[in-house]
């Protein structure tokens, strides 16, 4: 067991009570997490291996895990609309980003997608995050600092619909603003040829306007639009069935490739 598998003071810990109750806390010498299932003393976490089971003051067993970027994205304080993990997963897969990639994101919002992107590009990569809201930028910065990913991200207060120069071209760009069609020209100037653009919008009218603008620009091709529906299954012996509720429509994803010119 490596040192990183043992919880130390000030480490983040995911405490899982059940499917609905999940909390990210810091292991500290003082303080408690109070719930209807009992109290967890934060000092009890220190020295325990991640993956252990501990008990609350009421004797309820809870699981303590190392938080994943997925967990942070679900538990962030939502100051704006959040891109759900099911959508973010497809966007990241289509983007082709990897350690060392240089990427952009406009509309960082609550920082949920920012955290996932920063976790993938590694210390050799860079993420330029744009937003017009100072509050969103501050919240995202705080979250990245807590997770230890801030060194990979440069947060900029700028309206991506207006021209901007970064001094380098990007491998991929993620766009999540109300009117992405008005940012197509700016974003086209930031992405290297053959690079990828991923756009997230909640309504089909936005899909239509964005796709038409991408085509008209002459800068993008291989344009596709997607919707992701996620259904989880409950599995017991001799009884396998889908859960009654499923994560249906949350938004639409538009994918495109940057080219010099469309023939």
Instruction: Assign 198 to helix, strand or coil.
Output: strand
Q: Is 256 annotated as a binding residue?
A: no
Whole-number Å distance between alpha carbons of 203 and 216: 20
Q: Is 36 annotated as a binding residue?
A: no
User: Is residue 185 within a helix (H) or strand (E), and if so which, with residue range?
Assistant: helix 184-188
Q: Is 111 annotated as a binding residue?
A: yes
Q: Is 171 annotated as a binding residue?
A: no
Give the residue from 47, 16, 11 showing the smallest Cα distance to 26. Answer: 11
Q: Which residue has the tokens 């291996």?
A: 49
Q: Is 2 annotated as a binding residue?
A: no
Whole-number Å distance between alpha carbons of 73 and 89: 12
Q: Are 195 and 258 a contacting pair, CB within 8 Å?
A: yes
Whole-number Å distance between alpha carbons of 61 and 46: 17
Which residue ranges make up the annotated binding site? 110-113, 131, 159, 176
Which residue ranges make up the annotated binding site for S-adenosyl-L-methionine? 110-113, 131, 159, 176
């Amino acid at each position: 067991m490596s040192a990183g598998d043992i919880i130390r003071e000030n480490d983040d810990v995911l405490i899982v009570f059940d499917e609905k109750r999940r909390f990210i806390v810091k292991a500290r010498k003082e303080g408690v997490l109070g719930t209807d299932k009992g109290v967890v003393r934060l000092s009890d976490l220190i020295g325990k291996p991640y993956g252990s089971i501990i008990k609350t003051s009421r004797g309820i067993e809870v699981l303590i895990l190392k938080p994943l970027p997925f967990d942070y994205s679900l538990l962030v304080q939502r100051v704006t609309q959040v891109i759900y993990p099911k959508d973010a997963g497809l966007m990241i897969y289509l983007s082709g980003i990897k350690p060392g990639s240089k990427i952009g994101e406009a509309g960082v919002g609550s920082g949920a997608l920012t955290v996932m992107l920063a976790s993938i590009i590694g210390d050799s990569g860079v993420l330029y995050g744009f937003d017009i809201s100072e509050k969103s930028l501050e919240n995202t910065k705080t979250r990245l600092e807590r997770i230890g990913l801030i060194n990979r991200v440069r947060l900029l207060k700028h309206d991506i619909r207006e021209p901007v120069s970064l001094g380098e071209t990007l491998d991929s760009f993620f766009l999540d603003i109300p009117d992405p069609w008005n940012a197509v020209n700016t974003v086209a100037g930031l992405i290297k040829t053959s690079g990828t653009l991923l756009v997230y919008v909640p309504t089909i009218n936005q899909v239509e306007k964005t796709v038409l603008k991408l085509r008209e620009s002459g800068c993008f091709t291989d344009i596709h639009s997607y919707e992701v529906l996620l259904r989880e299954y409950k599995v017991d012996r001799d009884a396998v069935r889908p859960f009654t509720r499923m994560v249906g429509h949350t938004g639409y994803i538009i994918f495109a490739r940057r080219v010099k010119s469309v023939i």
